[in-house]
């Protein structure tokens, strides 16, 4: 185990790979938002207030299709239920003595990737520190917001002459989900993921894409409950 507690700057440095991943994804969110008819300020507000990639893309689809406000909000909330586990899992690794005085602030930045990066650092023997969590979270949050602003104001026009770049940015999200899936994949979770995937396909093809996501998640989680 290393002796020194990681600083804010250490956390900020550790956020660089996430920054590289987040900027193009949030850029494509900014572009998608303006294409869907939202203003740059509205796109930025979604990134600042929600700060959860997949939910934000879904928010665009729900809001532009005129879905009721409460249904839309509930759908987005249900999508992020998994975040409930990140804090407890991280603090278990950090140990009983870990400080949580400022967790009300840094925990806002506990996205899938920040959680993964923080957990990985602890697994490699680094000590837990709140300043480093602030650095890690702020780097990622700043990249997410600035990418959204750049995408919203550069707009789809900036990418019209670059179809390959446009296509690559469009694939950033499926690629991120696949990489995250690989990072958590193990024999125990395989039935959960298989059931979730199969139900998503069936419900998307027979009902709608939004139902596919909700029913897929629910079916996968129930498969986890029924698993011995």
Partner 1 sequence: MSWELLTVALLAGAANWCFRALPILARTGRATAGGWLGRFLSSTGPAAIGTLFVAAILPALTPELGRTLPAITGTLAVLGVYLARKSVVLATLAGAFVHGLTVWLLG
Least Å from the CB of residue 35 to partner 1: 15
Name the residue nearer to partner 1 (CB basis): 4 or 225: 225
Least Å from the CB of residue 192 to partner 1: 5
Q: Could you count the other beta carbons within 10 Å of the beta carbon of residue 147?
A: 21
Alpha carbon distances (Å) from 212 to 139, 196, 215: 33, 9, 5
Question: C-alpha angle with apex 182: 73 to 54, nearest 5 degrees?
Answer: 20
Closest-CA residue to 103 (of 116, 93, 90, 112): 90
Name the residue nearer to partner 1 (CB basis): 136 or 195: 195
Least Å from the CB of residue 16 to partner 1: 9
Alpha carbon distances (Å) from 100 to 43, 121, 143, 175, 189: 32, 18, 25, 33, 30
Least Å from the CB of residue 77 to partner 1: 4
Name the residue nearer to partner 1 (CB basis): 4 or 69: 69
Name the residue nearer to partner 1 (CB basis): 3 or 181: 181
Least Å from the CB of residue 135 to partner 1: 17
Closest-CA residue to 75 (of 196, 209, 175, 203): 209
Alpha carbon distances (Å) from 4 to 124, 129, 136: 14, 10, 17
Closest-CA residue to 83 (of 43, 42, 55, 46): 55
Name the residue nearer to partner 1 (CB basis): 4 or 97: 97
């Amino acid at each position: 185990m290393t002796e020194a507690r990681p600083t804010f700057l250490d956390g900020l440095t550790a956020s660089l790979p996430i920054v590289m991943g987040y900027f193009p994804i949030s850029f494509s969110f900014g572009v998608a938002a303006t294409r869907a008819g939202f203003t740059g300020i509205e796109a930025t507000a979604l990134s600042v207030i929600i700060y959860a990639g997949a939910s934000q893309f879904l928010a665009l689809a729900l809001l532009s299709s005129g879905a009721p406000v409460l249904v839309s909000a509930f759908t987005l909330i249900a999508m992020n239920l998994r975040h409930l586990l990140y804090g407890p899992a991280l603090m278990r690794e950090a140990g009983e003595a870990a400080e949580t005085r400022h967790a009300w602030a840094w925990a806002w930045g506990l996205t899938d990737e920040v959680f993964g990066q923080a957990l990985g650092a602890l697994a490699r023997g680094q000590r837990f520190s709140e300043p480093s969590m602030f650095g890690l979270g702020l780097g990622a949050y700043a990249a997410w917001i600035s990418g959204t602003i750049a995408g919203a104001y550069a707009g789809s026009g900036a990418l019209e002459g670059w179809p390959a770049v446009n296509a690559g940015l469009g694939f950033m999200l499926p690629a991120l989900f696949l990489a995250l899936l690989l990072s958590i994949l193990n024999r125990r979770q395989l039935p959960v993921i298989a059931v979730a995937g199969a139900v998503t396909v069936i419900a998307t093809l027979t009902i709608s894409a939004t139902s596919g996501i909700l029913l897929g998640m629910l079916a996968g989680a129930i498969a986890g409950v029924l698993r011995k």
